[in-house]
Structure 1
Amino acid sequence: MPLFRALDEQAGVKVQPRRRKGFGRRAQDDSSVFSLKYLCLSNVADNMKDVWVKDYADNYLDQYTFRYIMGPFNILPGDLIEELMLLLCSRKQLSRAALHLLLVPQLRGLTLEKCSALVTPGLCAHIAARCQGLFILDLSGAKQIPSKVLCETIHRLPALRSLSLAGVPCDGSVIQTIACCCRSLKHLDVSRCHLLFPAALLPLGGVYPASSSSSSSLSSVSSSALPSITPAPCPLPLSSLLALDIGFTEQGEDSTVAAAYLLLSLPYLERAALEGLSQACCLLEQEEFSRADGFAEREGVPRLEEVWRERIQWQGKTSEDVASGERGDEREEEEGMYLEEDENDTARDEKFSFQSQTEGKSEFLSHSGLVFQLKDVRGVTSDSLQSLGRLCPGIRSITMNIDGNEHSSGRGRRQCLLDLQTWSGQLQTLSFHCNGPLADFLLPLQVAGSRLISLSLDGVKTSPHSPLLEVIRACPRLRDLLISAEPPSLPQEQDENDQLDNVALPQLPHLCSLSLSFSYEHSQMKPVMSWMSLKKVLRCLLIGSPLLEKLSLVSLPCPLDCVLQDTLQSVNLNSPDVPLGRLERVDLKRTDVQMITVKSLIQLNKRLKHVDVSYCWQISQLQWSQIKRARKVEVVWV
């Protein structure tokens, strides 16, 4: 039976360093052997429901409110509690009572995204009372938390460094509370918060209206929701801000101007997903500050030109400090302090790399000398890439939306090719959202794909002559390849030369995740086999990618079973690089794969955990029921 005592009487608990890697299976080849830590945590998880959770739920859950629970979990290090929560969540065994028991003071990370239904105002009160040392809090998807409760919870968590509120009813009062109380915050995610408007984000950068009553975006803030807080004029040290799809309506010029304010007022920002971000770069690069005058007057904030001048002065002072070496010792101390923290915690030190980022790229820079530290941008459009390149020469990851009309005229392809040259040789992640033909992406990838480790093409159109092999050749270092496409509208003739030539075919030896998904009509049981030469590409990818861990081939417009059989027949068990030998998850929905092939995949390696063969017309329910009992692999079939 658990014992209980007040929070101020708790014994001191030594907080262990945060883990850097996950737990679970061993890294050795025999991945069926589990670590001792995993087995111990698994045993605790197995006994929680029938022992501790049952006792607490029967005797205390809805009868008492405890500020602190002294039980079997308060003596465990915080990182083990985090791993136990993840294990319970993966098994769908994390209950409200279990959460109450696991909310211990030494907890440093709490991620409830996958069990957001458990997040209630009552649970938030427990978090605020018991876990005031939290560094990481993820409440994404918790739709039943009002903004007042969020404000009260965040007000009690001043140590937060990462906060995720995606899809939560978050409004301007919550942003004000974050800006005033979470002065160490490095990462904030407020994506899909439809009660939040772009202007309400300005306090994050220390931009406040002269009079709160004159600000329409902040007029709804309740004083009771902000207990004893004072606006902080300094910006948060944010290195990551994700705020796409906010507000109920299209914001237009407001989102562009608000993004411009945020870019100028958040000097350590490295990752940004903002509405109107690329257009904001165009506004700043061309110094069209008059476009923001109406916004500034309506919101009661300083004019954009004033904020721009302050940023230019700050950047100049920073460059002088670097040149004179006045802060060399301070930088060494900061590196030591944040050695065990997240990679984003080095954002402050990155300001010393302005000169190295811009070497050899003077022809791309803006004439004012303004440079942002952005390395990862999302939701940008192709029409403003040139200005984005001038202000952000250090970008390594970009997610781009390309207008279909521009693409159909060829303008999008040429402009994209020209502007991607700014980051040639340094881009690592590239994602396109466009309904144009796959062939239009070949030239941009040949320009920027030499160092890509992740490529995503969403919504592209294909034909039997789409140059997929050439795309693979242009990106030899890929670790993740995701293509979501429309299948060819015209069938390919059957006399296509489909002979393997392993010498000429490109390979992706570092590829770990492969996803090829084709759209289909729900009325069709089988996809139309209209791209027969795709089989050669699949053989190339499967045989030439021995490190594959995740494989998703959905609704392919070509036969797949023969390709998998050919790949399995080419396996040399004495070789250290066995094709398909490291698979952990396989998704083969709506393909012609047969059960004998699935059995061969399962027998080939011991790492396989999940196989999805839903709507595979060659597999019967009897075959599925037999293999479901054969081995500890989750096989899904509908």
Structure 2
Amino acid sequence: MPLFRVLSERDGAKTRPRRRRTRNLEWMGSCGKTDENGLVLSLTRLCLLSLADNMKEVWAKDYADNYMDHYSFRYIMGPFNILPGHLVEELTWLLCTRKQMSRAALHLMLVPQLRSLSLERCPGLLTSSLCAHIAARCQSLWSLDLSGGQQLSSKVLSETLGCLPALRSLSLAGTLCDRCVIKTIAHRCRLLRHLDISRCHLLSPAALLPLGGGGSFLTSQSFISSSCSAPLSPLPLSSLLALDIGFREQEGDSLAAAAYLLLSLPSLERVAMEDLAQACCLIQHRQFNQTDEFTDREGVPRLGEVWREWRLRQGIDKKKREGAAADEKEQKENIMWDGYGSGTEEDSIRDVGPNCSQNQTEDKKKGQNVSCDERLILLLKDVKGLSCDSLDSLSCACPNIYSISVNVDPFENARGRSQGSLLAGGLQSWSGQLRSLSVHYPGPPVDLLPALQVAGSSLVSLTLEGVKTSPHTPLLEVIKACPRLRNLLISAEPPTTPQGAEDEEDQWDDLDLPQLPNLCSLTLNFSYEHSQMKPVMSWMSLRRVLKCLLTGSPLLEKLSLVSLPCPLNCVLQDVLHILDLDQYPFANSTNSPPMPLGRVQHIDLPRTDVKMITVRSLMQRSKRLNYVDVSYCWQISQLEWLNCETSSKVQVVWL
């Protein structure tokens, strides 16, 4: 059993730094994959699963019974401090995703070699005592996620973050983060690259100014010296998510704060803030006097001064780019003289950055006489929280965007143009390069078709939220407009009128049905009334769309179909019929194409008419399947669920 003891500071709790492989956050979400056949797990994986299964009754039992609530240890000499950090991270992820994480287990896994810790899935464990353990034991953390920790006070957050200077990524979404916490982050977390403070309702837009080096750093916290009242240099943030952060102190504060941060954080690539596009427009037209009252009140430099510093920084960067371009041109000329190849002017322009002369031409067409040196060109690639009418001003300042989230208001005045055409025109600037599009629109999806036809050819992720459907909703046209999708999420209201029998036939020929061969995640989520047990079967032709998606997406890994307004069981039976060996004679051949649903791992089917016999067939055919949710499926009885739960290794959820 583990040996527990308290280390004093003179004992020295430092450990020799270990070399570890470079890992990113996406790896944490993919560690559940098996081999190509979905049958064999690695020995390391099997050992971690065994640890997870026995964590409560074996590994954490002695500590929980005899030590946890009796002593407070600065450091624990236990079974996990000898494991490499990435294995402890994976074990933590397994326990959290399987809802097996406990306070005792978490205490044992807070080891010095830990580099990444995410407690987003178990916010109930976040307490001031736990944060004290994190601050004392895990001072080398690179990534920390405390999202949803409503019981953590501002003081606790500040004290914890003040002890974690190595942080590169931090998520405090939905916490009690306030201005004091932001000041602590700006002063102590000087390596921070990613910050998520969405849904922090105690924050005002002005409270974010210290991130860009603005505002006073005076604070009552003991771990920040009173001599550090002078503004620091901006943080090297490349990602800042700050939507729904509370109430603005005065009208225009969010606009002024966004403009200040855009100019003072030169490395920003991913941003979610209110009035972001309007801030770009304000900077483009040099309307800095509109923000003087805000900057004077907050004690930060006026935007005119910040703009001049930005231009100076851009000039230095431009000289570096020109020097690099000259060196590259010289190298290409040497190669050409040597007879190995030649470089073109087009290649040089593409490598250096946006074409300055082209941008000047576009500005002249819009009636703006702006020199190339004064033109605002931001590095933003991923933006959220925009509106349709702001896309034009954003496209001038951000030509390299590949991911965008737009809120479309159907009642907003579009000056005689429909919101759909306005969205299509706004997305035209990024046509061919947009990879991800999210649209919130409380209207029919047919209005969004022009925009999808403009940007859909390059999209790999599409999200449509709040749309209102009908039996004539052109989902097949949406699929056809986005042939490269890997992720499709539609959250919609079901049709209010039932579909007539004569409308069930579709004009598409079976041979012409569009397919999404790269699709990995599919979500169709229909809203419902809680008092209504069964959804109204009002969209019968949706069955054909579902069959098209399930049979034409052999790489599908995650499937979520919630409260469908059409029969689903018959669709799944038809797809499973295709998987029969007599229908798919070369299913076991190495040269055969992937089978439909052959790679699915996670299935959610709440409030549908699916039957247990169909679920069992899915579990038999899909070798990688590990989770099925059939909550509130009225065709499944408790006895059927109990029999399936005891006879299968797949986790089946039923209510």
Common fold: TM-score over 0.5: yes
In the superposition, relative to structure 1, how do residues 229 and 551 fare at CA in structure 2: closer, same or farther (>3 Å)? farther
For residue 226 of structure 1, report the CA deviation from its aligned partner.
Answer: 3.1
* 1:443-592 pair list within 5 angstroms: 443-496=450-503, 497-498=505-506, 501-571=509-579, 572=584, 573-574=587-588, 575-592=592-609
CA distance in 1, matches of 2:143, 2:576: 44
**8 A contact 2:542–2:566 mirrored in 1:** yes
CA distance in 2, matches of 1:229, 1:48: 47
Match of 1:595 among 593, 604, 612: 612
| Aligned amino acid, residue 598 of structure 2 | G
| Aligned amino acid, residue 380 of structure 1 | L
**Which residue does 1:332 correspond to in 2?**
none
**Which residue does 1:347 correspond to in 2?**
none
**Which residue does 1:204 correspond to in 2?**
211
Mean Cα deviation higher: 379-388 or 405-414: 405-414
Mean Cα deviation higher: 68-77 or 401-410: 401-410
**Which residue does 1:355 correspond to in 2?**
353
CA distance in 1, matches of 2:644, 2:224: 58
CA distance in 1, matches of 2:351, 2:76: 48
For residue 630 of structure 1, report the CA deviation from its aligned partner.
Answer: 2.8
CA distance in 2, matches of 1:144, 1:317: 46
CA distance in 1, matches of 2:612, 2:595: 21
In the superposition, relative to structure 1, how do residues 576 and 411 fare at CA in structure 2: closer, same or farther (>3 Å)? closer
CA distance in 1, matches of 2:214, 2:433: 33
Normalising by structure 1, report the TM-score.
0.89
Normalising by structure 2, report the TM-score.
0.87
**Which residue does 2:18 correspond to in 1?**
14
Match of 1:45 among 46, 49, 52: 52
In the superposition, relative to structure 1, how do residues 592 and 117 fare at CA in structure 2: closer, same or farther (>3 Å)? closer
Q: Does 1:608 align with 2:625?
A: yes
For residue 611 of structure 1, report the CA deviation from its aligned partner.
Answer: 1.7
In the superposition, relative to structure 1, how do residues 509 and 453 fare at CA in structure 2: closer, same or farther (>3 Å)? same
CA distance in 2, matches of 1:32, 1:195: 49
CA distance in 2, matches of 1:260, 1:584: 44
CA distance in 2, matches of 1:272, 1:565: 44
| Aligned amino acid, residue 380 of structure 2 | L
In structure 2, the residue corresponding to 1:447 is in which secondary structure? helix
Q: Deviations over 1:193-235 (max 9, x none)?
A: 11111111111111225xx7xxxxx8xx424463457245311
| Aligned amino acid, residue 117 of structure 1 | G
For residue 88 of structure 1, report the CA deviation from its aligned partner.
Answer: 2.2
CA distance in 2, matches of 1:251, 1:484: 34
Q: Does 1:388 align with 2:394?
A: yes
Q: Deviations over 1:104-142 (max 9, x none)?
A: 211111112222222222222222222111111111111
**8 A contact 1:25–1:35 mirrored in 2:** no
Q: Deviations over 1:500-543 (max 9, x none)?
A: 83321111000011111222233333322222222221121111
CA distance in 1, matches of 2:42, 2:173: 34
**Which residue does 1:255 correspond to in 2?**
254
In the superposition, relative to structure 1, how do residues 159 and 187 fare at CA in structure 2: closer, same or farther (>3 Å)? same
CA distance in 2, matches of 1:473, 1:85: 41
**What is the count of residue pairs matched by the alignment?**
607
**Which residue does 1:75 correspond to in 2?**
82
Q: Does 1:181 align with 2:188?
A: yes
Q: Does 1:245 align with 2:262?
A: no
CA distance in 1, matches of 2:181, 2:291: 25
In the superposition, relative to structure 1, how do residues 298 and 490 fare at CA in structure 2: closer, same or farther (>3 Å)? same
In the superposition, relative to structure 1, how do residues 78 and 541 fare at CA in structure 2: closer, same or farther (>3 Å)? same
Q: Does 1:94 align with 2:101?
A: yes
* 1:140-539 pair list within 5 angstroms: 140-208=147-215, 221-224=219-222, 226-227=224-225, 230=228, 231-248=230-247, 252-325=251-324, 355-356=353-354, 367=370, 368-406=374-412, 410-496=417-503, 497-498=505-506, 501-539=509-547
| Aligned amino acid, residue 246 of structure 2 | G
In the superposition, relative to structure 1, how do residues 249 and 237 fare at CA in structure 2: closer, same or farther (>3 Å)? closer
In the superposition, relative to structure 1, how do residues 107 and 229 fare at CA in structure 2: closer, same or farther (>3 Å)? farther
CA distance in 1, matches of 2:109, 2:534: 48
CA distance in 2, matches of 1:27, 1:362: 52
**8 A contact 2:34–2:41 mirrored in 1:** no
In the superposition, relative to structure 1, how do residues 564 and 498 fare at CA in structure 2: closer, same or farther (>3 Å)? farther
**8 A contact 1:152–1:226 mirrored in 2:** no
**8 A contact 2:35–2:41 mirrored in 1:** no
For residue 498 of structure 1, report the CA deviation from its aligned partner.
Answer: 4.8
CA distance in 2, matches of 1:26, 1:549: 10
**8 A contact 1:364–1:389 mirrored in 2:** no
CA distance in 2, matches of 1:395, 1:256: 20
In structure 1, the residue corresponding to 2:315 is in which secondary structure? helix
For residue 460 of structure 1, report the CA deviation from its aligned partner.
Answer: 0.8
Unaligned 5+ segments in structure 1 are 213-217, 330-351
**8 A contact 1:25–1:31 mirrored in 2:** no
CA distance in 2, matches of 1:247, 1:353: 41
For residue 477 of structure 1, report the CA deviation from its aligned partner.
Answer: 0.2
In structure 2, the residue corresponding to 1:98 is in which secondary structure? helix
In the superposition, relative to structure 1, how do residues 606 and 358 fare at CA in structure 2: closer, same or farther (>3 Å)? farther
For residue 252 of structure 1, report the CA deviation from its aligned partner.
Answer: 4.2
**8 A contact 2:74–2:136 mirrored in 1:** yes
In the superposition, relative to structure 1, how do residues 120 and 524 fare at CA in structure 2: closer, same or farther (>3 Å)? closer
In the superposition, relative to structure 1, how do residues 84 and 6 fare at CA in structure 2: closer, same or farther (>3 Å)? farther
**8 A contact 2:520–2:556 mirrored in 1:** yes
CA distance in 1, matches of 2:118, 2:272: 21
In structure 2, the residue corresponding to 1:241 is in which secondary structure? strand
CA distance in 1, matches of 2:554, 2:357: 38
**8 A contact 1:358–1:393 mirrored in 2:** no
Mean Cα deviation higher: 507-516 or 361-370: 361-370
**8 A contact 1:165–1:191 mirrored in 2:** yes
In structure 2, the residue corresponding to 1:449 is in which secondary structure? helix
Q: Deviations over 1:149-172 (max 9, x none)?
A: 222221221111111111111111
**8 A contact 2:13–2:75 mirrored in 1:** no
| Aligned amino acid, residue 242 of structure 1 | L
In structure 2, the residue corresponding to 1:183 is in which secondary structure? coil
Identity %: 59
**8 A contact 2:277–2:393 mirrored in 1:** yes
**Which residue does 1:337 correspond to in 2?**
none
In structure 1, the residue corresponding to 2:406 is in which secondary structure? strand
**8 A contact 1:167–1:190 mirrored in 2:** yes
In the superposition, relative to structure 1, how do residues 62 and 459 fare at CA in structure 2: closer, same or farther (>3 Å)? same
Mean Cα deviation higher: 252-261 or 505-514: 252-261
Q: Deviations over 1:282-320 (max 9, x none)?
A: 222222212211111211211112112211221122111
In the superposition, relative to structure 1, how do residues 223 and 72 fare at CA in structure 2: closer, same or farther (>3 Å)? closer
Mean Cα deviation higher: 196-205 or 460-469: 460-469
| Aligned amino acid, residue 536 of structure 2 | V
CA distance in 2, matches of 1:425, 1:276: 26
For residue 73 of structure 1, report the CA deviation from its aligned partner.
Answer: 1.9
| Aligned amino acid, residue 324 of structure 2 | G
CA distance in 1, matches of 2:489, 2:223: 44
In structure 1, the residue corresponding to 2:628 is in which secondary structure? strand
